[in-house]
Structure 1
Amino acid sequence: MKTDIRNIDDIKIFVDEFYHKIQLDDLLGPIFNNTITDWPTHLDKMYKFWNAALFGVPGFKGNPFARHAPLPINKVHFEQWIKLFHETINKNFEGDIANDCKYRAELMASMFQSRLELMKGNPNKVIV
C-alpha cells in the first residue's frame, strides 16, 4: 500500500527516481545531461527544494527560473517533465501531500513556461 510523502527520505525517493527518468528520456535527457555536470549536487539541491516547498524546512537557496531560462526548452519539454513527475509520484505515493507536490510542480512548470514566453525575443528582459 502506498503512503503519502512524509519526510526527506520520501522526497529522496521521488527525486532520485524522477531525475533518473529525466536522464534516460529522449527529449529531456540531452538537455539535462548537457547542463548538469554534478548530479549528486543537483539532487541534493532538489531534496532541499522539495523539503522547503512541501514541509517549510529551510535550507534551499537558489533561483530555479534563472537556471532554466537559458535552456532550449518549450511547451513540449514542460509537458514531458510534468508527465514524468506525475508518473513518479503516482507510482510511489498517494495522499494530500503527494497531490500538493504534483500541483506545485504544475504551477512551477506553468510559471516557468509563461515567463520564458514573455522573454522570447527580448534581450532587455531580466531573468533574475
Structure 2
Amino acid sequence: MNDIEDLTSIKILVDEFYTRVRLDGLLGPVFAEVIKDDWQPHLDKMYAFWNAALFGVPGFKGNPFAKHAPLPISDDHFNRWLELFTQTVDAHFTGPMADDAKNRANLMAVMFMSKLANMKGGPGKVIM
C-alpha cells in the first residue's frame, strides 16, 4: 500500500469512506436526510477539504461545524464516523500522511463533540 500522495489518493479515500457511510445503519440515515441523492457536491467539498487539510492546497470554503451543529447527532455518531474513517484509511493507505489524516479526523471529531456538548449545555449550565 502507498501513502496518501495527492488529490487522486484523496478521491479514493473520500469516495470509499462515503460509500461506507451511506451503508452504515447509524450514519447513513443522517446523511441521506440532508444530502438526499445528490452526493457529488458533498464529495467535491470533501476532496477540497482533505486536500487543504493534508497538503495545504487552497480551495476549501466552508464552515464544517456550522453544517453539522443543527443535525440530530451525538458522540455515538462521531465515534462511528471516526471508526469508519480509520478503517477506510487503513484499508487503502499506509504512511505518514495516512497517519496525519487519521489524527486530523480524530481531532475534528473531538472538537465537534466538545462544541456540541457546550451548545447543548450540561450539568449546572443553563442555555437560553
Q: Report the TM-score, using the length of structure 2 for normalisation.
A: 0.93
Query: What's the CA shift for 1:107?
Result: 0.2
Counterpart for residue 12 of structure 1: 11
CA distance in 2: counterparts of 1:63 and 1:103, whole angstroms: 20
Instruction: Specify the alignment match of 2:124 in structure 1.
Output: none
CA distance in 1, matches of 2:8, 2:99: 17
Matched, 1:41 2:41: yes
The match for 1:31 is: 30
Letter in 2 for 1:30: P
Give the match for residue 58 of structure 2.
58
Q: Distance in 1 between matches of 2:62 and 2:115?
A: 17
The equivalent of 1:21 in structure 2 is 20
> Post-superposition shift, 1:24?
0.7
Ranges of 4+ aligned residues in structure 1 off by more than 4 Å: none
5+ residue gaps, structure 1, are 124-128
Task: State the one-letter code of the partner of 1:95.
Answer: G
Q: Find the aligned partners of 2:111 and 2:35 in 1 and give their Cα distance.
A: 22
Percentage of pairs with the same residue: 60
Q: 2:102: which partner in 1? A: 102
Q: What CA deviation, in whole Å up to 9, does each residue of 1:64-103 have, x standing for no partner? A: 0000000111111111000000000000000000000000
Q: Distance in 2 between matches of 1:36 and 1:52?
A: 22
Deviations 1:3-32 (A, max 9, x none): 000000000001000001001100000000
Instruction: Give the 3-state SS of the residue equivalent to 2:22 in structure 1.
Output: helix
Counterpart residue type for residue 96 of structure 1: P
Deviation at 1:36, TM superposition (A): 1.2
For structure 2, the residue ranges without an aligned partner over 5 or more in a row are 122-126
TM-align CA RMSD: 0.8
Number of aligned residue pairs: give it.
122
Give 1:100's aligned amino acid: D
**1:76 and 1:113 mapped to 2: Cα distance?**
10
